[in-house]
């Protein structure tokens, strides 16, 4: 039995855990304000909020309900557009009306929900702005400028919140209905009954994390699938530093990474990198391990962690084994993983003081798009002489690649323009891109060369960039 | 005034097709569509599907009770594939099941034997093989042949624009409900309720009075639901007619993308001639429109390409020929601008080409040749122009020379990023070019409590037409807008509607509403004059009051209405409006097809990351000819939205079909439209307020389509930035310019060297 709060009502359902939350909301609960635009998390028309207790705090995150399993709503507060309506228009809705930020109106509830998510988020630790909150919402009518003006009004309003409890402030300022103040005690009660500590069922047909890949790839099969839910398992969550290593549970999301003090300390440009990874609601749902297991040749997080030489702890429910991510991929969508195994933990050595890291990604649309080519580099150096390097690349082979030869070549080299060009030559021999909808093979080859140049230009400012970008 | 739908939109309470409460017994439809682009349909095996859970019926061409035909302009488009399939995505069979999931599951169990035939995806190839939708058309003014020798500069070249997916966020759909006495009621997400009614009648065999089409609103249309909504409505209505049960079909995004047509790709040859003072003397084009597998609206789109292929410029000698080419792609269709943008791109490409060769900035040629009032366009209409006014105002306001200098300074100071700029003037004709469609009707009821309900043929799809219609009535009756409602668009209330298209919806339906309201107001004024015993011309309405010589009388609006009703005064009116003075003779391709033209000038500035090939638009600063805007909030929204959609078409929106005619960019993950970060950082809009008389409603010029064409400047701005990085670069005139193309064009020589090297090294998997 799945039990949660839907807007202002507690509900239970015996529908399968793999039912898309969107279908439950629209077709079982007749809450039609949540719209269907694409069913693959790329338009944001079905955005809802999922609230849960994190420690003693009630934390809301936006999610695209088309990719969220009903089972992952268990024990949470699910908020749809109907759940944020008050007597008149709430502050965000009024801002949209005043600025003409709604034309055909179909995308509007999704935008409103994303902004409610911005207003009630508990921390600004993720470094993201109100505009970033709507990064997953596509509007085909307005050209976004009126939406930007409405977003600015909302951001201004929230700027006055200060240290106040965001939910209390939102209720007091016509952003949220009063019932939001009653949610926390109910969720605390749920928490005691959570299934989060129940061991993973390794006999299930499918392991499901955040759902952002499975609900896209296997949409029709999900409803009736025999699913083992991983997302809310306590032992699969959390990021912590242990000595010089960083440990993450398999269900850690991209947003968890963004909010983690460990990551923010060791990757000063983290926000810049992760802003290039999908959108706010997808980052809230997508897990790091899911990105690994999905085995997409262009997985952003996979490329990120290949450069860092991350290690996986795989479990079959009885015993565990450890495996470098760099050895996880056997061929196109083929993994060194048995059907009953799932990733339990991921760990990597944090970059030492003075170490360098960079992530590059280019796609047709800079944000909320799948890379044509992405690449990451991790370097330890001494006076511009490279001691150790890890270079990875996606979109240029059947699996996300650790560029072993190029990484080896870099070791011991002094960074010069000529050396960069030599490294590019070697990288070219390690890749085998194909032409597809994300670009021709020629483009991907050349783009990787450019992105390798970008790594070195970004990390070694003494280099003569002009020499590297000669036509 | 705010959009009247903003309250329900922002609360998620607006009703779209998929939100209509379902009747018990509703069946759900799903299509089995052609998996190949061209072939002989030998057989269909639906036996397993018919046995599938919840399936009630599977329909094919054999089940059509009327004609298996939905072609609008030309009857060349079967609803269901019969002997042949003509494009990937063509409907072959329709499954009807108790749930949408069951219907989708059953579709997967259908198979068809299709003997492949050669597939054509390219317009020029189709033309070479004589595959044309209609005979080619030519617009001509002056004599280009005799003009060429008088030109100081003559340049020839080719240019291409790709298609564009509409990507209305609400997908296509319909819900058909059988009524008593054989009537079918169809809820449709369509811009053309009457087009749907006709298609349903043709397919079912029902007469028009047996088919009611109702449209509350669309979650976006952009032309994609003008004729292409017919398919789903016809399928559902046929199924409802046969099964006598309600039938609903709301398309999955991937079904929508692969089964529907898009903006037409064009491939064009041009020849342009200028005198030594850079005056345009002669222009010739031959353009090939990729129409897809059936006519749809392609002939009308083709016509508008010809109307707009000289954009905002006066050229005394023009010969423009256009071919509508039949290929094995889904039938391409209307899309904001309707062929106009494709035509304008050709002249802008030719001017850019000429400017580069002559060594001047394209803006010099553009400015030098702007239309002035009285100039004759190639189709014979003498223009009332605001082109120079818009340009001068833009220059004055935004300081073109300063922008150019700032860009030059920036480019000197920056090695890896370069800026580029382009100016884009526009001139767009308002009216359906098919003169007969320029008519509309409005039905206005005043109730005895003083409230008003209006029905028109206009379909609200976000453009704010219903808000403007409310404004018209509120103005005439001088009552609060809250007392006025616009009803859903319904073919039983308003007959024989023209589609909501051609930017003309507010003009046509607004004027019809103005006529209807004025008739009622006149009757009420006459009645009030008699009641108050004053001359009728002293009566006016102001702020809900009846006024005598501008001063409130004892009578207010509500009291007046009640008294008039008691005295049996007619409080309802149906009115008809037909645009005056417009005509066009296709036999000579001359006439006066447009009620008026809309003008504007935009300055677009872009920054290109020349290391990565990506770009960001810094600003678009424009002056737009609104006439005298009746709703600045809505009109501003149309400019911003149209502009960004145009930029999308020119940049990241890339439709990809493979050589077999299969759509590869078939989802939102593979077809990218602008997101909030991709919009220009700054959009400045100056309202050129003109008081000249025109045929627009309240002199507030049509605003739907024109701004899309400002986006064309995005292509040329990026192209200029590329040349600012690599002066030797020769970027082809092929839109869209994706980040891939930017990189390939920036580094053409280097890439050639790389390719040669790779070939000699036999590196793995290279094609």
A373-400 pLDDT, tens digit each? 999 999 999 999 999 999 999 999 999 9
In contact, A244 and A330? CB cutoff 8 Å:
no
Asked whether residue A124 carries a pLDDT value surpassing 70, the answer given is no
Q: Which residue in B13, B705, B734, B740 is the catalytic one?
A: B705
Asked whether residue A127 carries a pLDDT value surpassing 90, the answer given is no
Interchain pair A366, B767: CB under 8 A: no
Q: Over range A264-269, report the average pLDDT.
A: 96
pLDDT at A123: 67
Interchain pair B763, A437: CB under 8 A: no
If you compute the radius of gyration of chain B from its CA atoms, what whole number of angstroms results?
28
Interchain pair B667, A38: CB under 8 A: yes
Of the residues B1, B4, B5, B9, the best mutation for testing chain A's interface (the one with the most A CB atoms within 10 Å of its CB) is B9
Distance CA B740, CA A441 (A): 11
Among the partner-chain residues A85, A372, A466, the one whose CB lies closest to the CB of B415 is A466
Three-state secondary-structure class, residue B75:
coil
Calculate the alpha carbon distances from A287 to A209, A360, B215 in Å: 7, 20, 42
Sign of the dihedral through C-alpha A324, A251, A292, A222: positive
Among the partner-chain residues A138, A433, A438, the one whose CB lies closest to the CB of B673 is A138
**B-chain residues near A429 (CB < 8 A):** 761, 763
**B-chain residues near A145 (CB < 8 A):** 640, 679, 683
Three-state secondary-structure class, residue A378:
strand
A278-313 pLDDT, tens digit each? 999 999 999 999 999 999 999 999 999 999 999 999
Among the partner-chain residues B633, B751, B761, the one whose CB lies closest to the CB of A442 is B751
Distance CA A296, CA A105 (A): 34
Asked whether residue A125 carries a pLDDT value surpassing 70, the answer given is no
Of the residues A39, A90, A365, the best mutation for testing chain B's interface (the one with the most B CB atoms within 10 Å of its CB) is A365
In contact, A231 and A255? CB cutoff 8 Å:
no
Task: Give the length of chain B.
Answer: 767
Q: Angle at Cα A207 formed by Cα A203 and Cα A212, nearest 5°?
A: 165
Calculate the alpha carbon distances from B272 to B135, B145, B311, B356, B372 in Å: 25, 12, 14, 13, 20
In contact, B739 and A372? CB cutoff 8 Å:
yes
B246-272 pLDDT, tens digit each? 999 999 999 999 999 999 999 999 999
The structure's pTM equals: 0.98
Expressed in percent and rounded to 5, the helix, strand and coil fractions of chain B are: 35, 25, 40
Place of tokens 């009757």: B523
Per-position DSSP letters for A61-127, written without gaps between them: EEEETTS-BGGGGTTSEEE-GGGG--SS--HHHHHHHHHT--SS-SSHHHHHHHHHHHHH-S-STT-
pLDDT at B757: 85
Interchain pair B636, A450: CB under 8 A: no
Residue of B nearest to A140 (CA): B168
Residue of B nearest to A426 (CA): B763
Q: Tokens for B672?
A: 């990218």
**B-chain residues near A471 (CB < 8 A):** 725-726, 728-729, 746-747, 749-750
pLDDT at B767: 34
pLDDT at A195: 64
Closest CA to A100 of B698, B381, B601, B10: B10
**A-chain residues near B765 (CB < 8 A):** 432-434, 441
Distance CA A393, CA A446 (A): 13
Interchain pair B611, A450: CB under 8 A: yes
Interchain pair A33, B674: CB under 8 A: no
Tell me if chain A has a CB within 8 Å of the CB of B566.
no
Interchain pair B637, A436: CB under 8 A: no
Q: Over range A321-343, report the average pLDDT.
A: 96
Q: Over range B617-624, report the average pLDDT.
A: 98
In contact, B606 and B721? CB cutoff 8 Å:
yes
pLDDT at A163: 83
> Which residues have a Cβ under 8 Å from the Cβ of B363 and sit 6 or more positions away?
B400, B422, B423
Q: Tokens for B532?
A: 């108050």
Within 10 angstroms of residue A333's Cβ, the number of other Cβ atoms is 12
Among the partner-chain residues A108, A142, A433, the one whose CB lies closest to the CB of B637 is A142
B293-325 pLDDT, tens digit each? 999 999 999 999 999 999 999 999 999 999 999
Per-position DSSP letters for B270-291, written without gaps between them: EEEEE-TT--EEEEEEEEEEEE
In contact, B370 and B256? CB cutoff 8 Å:
no
Q: Over range A64-73, report the average pLDDT.
A: 98
Mean pLDDT of chain B: 97
Phi, psi of A220 (to 5 degrees): -70, -25
Closest CA to B738 of B605, B619, B643, B614: B614
pLDDT at B763: 60
Interchain pair B2, A100: CB under 8 A: yes
Q: Over range B488-507, report the average pLDDT.
A: 98
Distance CA A376, CA A454 (A): 11
pLDDT at B394: 98
ipTM exceeding cut-off 0.85 for this assembly: yes
- Provide the percentage of residues in chain A whose pLDDT is more than 90: 91
Tell me if chain A has a CB within 8 Å of the CB of B731.
no
pLDDT at B762: 65
H helices present in B133-268, as ranges: 144-147, 193-204, 230-243, 253-259
Phi, psi of B618 (to 5 degrees): -70, -50
In contact, B602 and B643? CB cutoff 8 Å:
yes
Among the partner-chain residues B168, B725, B754, the one whose CB lies closest to the CB of A140 is B168
At residue A202 the predicted structure's pLDDT band, cuts being 50, 70 and 90, is confident
Interchain pair A45, B749: CB under 8 A: no
At residue B766 the predicted structure's pLDDT band, cuts being 50, 70 and 90, is very low
- B705 in active site: yes
Q: Over range B638-664, report the average pLDDT.
A: 98
Interchain pair A33, B763: CB under 8 A: no
Q: Over range A337-342, report the average pLDDT.
A: 94
Distance CA B363, CA B365 (A): 5
**B-chain residues near A456 (CB < 8 A):** none
Q: Over range B418-446, report the average pLDDT.
A: 98
**B-chain residues near A447 (CB < 8 A):** 612-613, 740, 743
> Which residues have a Cβ under 8 Å from the Cβ of A181 and sit 6 or more positions away?
A167, A168, A171
Task: Give the length of chain A.
Answer: 471
Residue of B nearest to A87 (CA): B11
- Provide the percentage of residues in chain B whose pLDDT is more than 70: 99
> CA of A339, closest CA in chain B: separation in Å?
26
Q: Over range B501-528, report the average pLDDT.
A: 98
Q: Over range B438-457, report the average pLDDT.
A: 98
């Amino acid at each position: 039995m799945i039990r949660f709060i839907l807007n202002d009502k507690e509900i239970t359902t015996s529908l399968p855990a793999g039912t898309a939350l969107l279908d439950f909301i629209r077709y079982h609960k007749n809450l039609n304000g949540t719209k269907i635009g694409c069913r693959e998390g790329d338009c944001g028309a079905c955005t809802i909020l999922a609230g849960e207790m994190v420690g003693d705090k009630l934390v809301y995150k936006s999610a695209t309900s088309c990719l969220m399993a009903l089972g992952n709503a268990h024990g949470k507060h699910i908020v749809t557009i109907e759940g944020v309506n008050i007597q008149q228009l709430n502050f965000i809705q009024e801002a949209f009306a005043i600025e003409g930020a709604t034309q055909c109106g179909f995308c509007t509830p999704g935008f409103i929900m994303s902004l409610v998510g911005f207003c009630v988020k508990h921390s600004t630790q993720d470094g993201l702005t109100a505009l970033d909150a709507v990064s997953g919402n596509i509007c085909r009518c307005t050209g976004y400028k009126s939406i930007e003006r409405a977003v600015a009004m909302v951001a201004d309003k929230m700027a006055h919140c200060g240290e106040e409890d965001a939910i209390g402030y939102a209720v007091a300022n016509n952003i949220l209905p009063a019932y939001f103040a009653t949610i926390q005690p109910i969720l605390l009660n749920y928490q005691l009954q959570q299934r989060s500590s129940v061991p993973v069922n390794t006999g299930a047909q499918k392991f499901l994390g955040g759902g952002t890949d499975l609900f896209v790839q296997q949409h029709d099969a999900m409803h009736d699938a025999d699913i083992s839910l991983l997302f809310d398992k306590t032992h699969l969550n959390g990021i912590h530093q242990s000595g010089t290593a960083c440990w993450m549970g398999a269900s850690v999301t991209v947003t968890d990474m963004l909010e983690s003090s460990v990551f923010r300390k060791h990757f000063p440009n983290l926000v810049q990198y992760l802003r290039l990874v999908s959108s706010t609601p997808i980052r809230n749902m997508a897990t790091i391990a899911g990105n690994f297991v999905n085995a997409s040749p262009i997985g952003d997080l996979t490329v990120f962690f290949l450069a860092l030489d991350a290690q996986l702890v795989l479990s079959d429910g009885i015993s565990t084994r450890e495996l470098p991510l760099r050895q996880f991929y056997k061929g196109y969508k083929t993994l060194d993983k048995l059907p009953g195994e799932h990733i339990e933990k991921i760990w990597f050595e944090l970059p030492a003081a003075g170490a360098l890291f960079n992530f590059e990604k280019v796609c047709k649309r800079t944000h909320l798009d799948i890379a044509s080519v992405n690449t990451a580099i991790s370097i330890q150096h001494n006076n511009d002489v490279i001691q150790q390097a890890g270079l990875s690349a996606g979109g240029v082979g059947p699996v996300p690649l650790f560029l072993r030869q190029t990484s080896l070549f870099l070791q011991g080299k002094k960074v010069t323009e000529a050396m960069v060009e030599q490294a590019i030559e070697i990288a070219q021999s390690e890749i085998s891109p194909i032409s597809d909808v994300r670009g021709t093979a020629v483009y991907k080859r050349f783009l990787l060369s450019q992105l390798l140049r970008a790594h070195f230009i970004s990390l070694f400012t003494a280099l003569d960039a002009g020499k590297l970008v000669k036509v | 005034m705010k959009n009247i739908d903003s309250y329900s939109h922002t609360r998620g309470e607006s009703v779209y097709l998929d939100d209509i409460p379902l009747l018990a017994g509703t069946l759900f439809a799903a299509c089995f569509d052609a998996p190949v682009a061209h072939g002989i349909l030998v057989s269909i095996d639906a036996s397993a599907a018919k046995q599938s859970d919840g399936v009630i019926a599977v329909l094919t061409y054999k089940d059509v009770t009327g004609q298996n035909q939905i072609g609008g302009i030309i009857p060349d488009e079967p609803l269901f594939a019969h002997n042949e399939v003509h494009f990937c995505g063509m409907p072959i069979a329709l499954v009807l099941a108790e749930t949408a999931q069951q219907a989708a599951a059953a579709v997967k169990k259908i198979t068809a034997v299709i003997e492949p035939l050669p597939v054509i995806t390219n317009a020029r190839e189709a033309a070479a093989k004589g595959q044309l939708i209609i005979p080619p058309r030519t617009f001509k003014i002056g004599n280009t042949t005799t003009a060429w020798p008088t030109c100081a500069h003559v340049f020839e070249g080719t240019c291409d624009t790709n298609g564009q997916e509409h990507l209305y966020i609400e997908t296509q759909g319909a819900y058909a409900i059988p009524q008593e006495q054989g009537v079918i009621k169809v809820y449709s997400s369509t811009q053309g309720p009457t087009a749907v009614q006709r298609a349903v009648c043709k397919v079912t065999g029902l007469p028009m009075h047996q088919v009611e089409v109702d449209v509350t609103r669309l979650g976006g249309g952009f032309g994609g639901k003008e004729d292409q909504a017919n398919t789903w409505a016809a399928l559902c209505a046929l199924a409802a007619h046969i099964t006598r049960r309600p039938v609903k079909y709301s398309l999955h995004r991937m079904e929508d993308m692969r089964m529907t047509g898009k903006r037409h790709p064009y491939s064009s040859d041009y020849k342009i001639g200028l005198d030594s003072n850079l005056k345009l003397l002669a222009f010739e084009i031959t353009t090939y429109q990729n129409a897809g597998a059936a006519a749809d609206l392609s002939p009308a789109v083709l016509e508008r390409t010809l109307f707009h292929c000289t954009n905002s410029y006066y050229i005394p000698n023009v010969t423009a020929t256009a071919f509508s080419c039949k290929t094995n792609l889904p039938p391409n269709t209307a899309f904001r601008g309707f062929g106009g943008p494709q035509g304008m791109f050709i002249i802008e490409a030719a001017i850019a080409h000429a400017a580069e060769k002559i060594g001047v900035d394209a803006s010099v040629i553009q400015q030098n040749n702007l239309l002035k009032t009285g100039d004759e366009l190639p189709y014979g209409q003498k223009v009332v122009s605001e082109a120079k006014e818009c340009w001068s105002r833009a220059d004055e306001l935004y300081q073109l020379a300063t922008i150019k200098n700032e860009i030059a300074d920036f480019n000197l100071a920056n090695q890896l990023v370069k800026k580029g700029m382009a100016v884009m003037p526009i001139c767009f004709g308002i009216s359906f070019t098919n003169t007969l469609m320029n008519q509309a009707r409005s039905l206005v009821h005043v109730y005895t409590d003083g409230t008003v309900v209006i029905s028109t043929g206009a379909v609200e799809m976000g453009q704010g037409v219903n808000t403007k219609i409310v404004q018209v009535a509120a103005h005439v009756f001088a009552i609060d807008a809250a007392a006025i409602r616009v009803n859903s668009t319904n073919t039983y209330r308003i007959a024989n509607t023209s589609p909501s298209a051609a930017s003309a919806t507010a003009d046509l339906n607004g004027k019809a509403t103005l006529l209807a309201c004025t008739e009622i107001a006149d009757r009420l004024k006459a009645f009030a004059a008699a009641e108050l015993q004053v001359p009728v011309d002293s009566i006016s309405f102001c702020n809900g009051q009846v006024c005598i010589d501008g001063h409130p009388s004892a009578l207010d609006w509500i009291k007046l209405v009640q008294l008039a009703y008691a005295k049996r005064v007619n409080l309802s009116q149906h009115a008809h409006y037909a645009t005056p003075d417009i005509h066009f003779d296709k036999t000579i391709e001359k006439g006066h097809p447009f009620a008026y033209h809309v003008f504007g000038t935009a300055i677009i500035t872009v920054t290109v990351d020349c290391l990565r090939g990506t770009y960001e638009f810094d600003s678009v600063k424009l002056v737009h000819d609104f006439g005298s805007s009746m709703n600045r909030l809505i009109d501003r929204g149309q400019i911003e939205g149209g502009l960004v959609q145009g930029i999308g078409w020119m940049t990241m929106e890339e439709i990809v079909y493979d050589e077999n005619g299969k759509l590869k960019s078939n989802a939102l993950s593979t077809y990218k439209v602008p997101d909030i970060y991709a919009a220009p950082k700054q959009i400045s809009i100056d309202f050129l307020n003109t008081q000249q008389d025109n045929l627009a409603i309240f002199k507030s010029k049509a605003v739907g389509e024109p701004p899309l064409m400002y986006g064309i400047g995005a292509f040329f701005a990026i192209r200029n930035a590329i040349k600012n990085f690599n002066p030797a670069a020769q970027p082809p005139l092929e839109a869209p310019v994706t980040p891939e193309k930017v990189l390939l064009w920036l580094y053409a020589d280097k890439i050639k060297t790389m390719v040669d090297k790779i070939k000699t090294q036999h590196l793995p998997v290279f094609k």
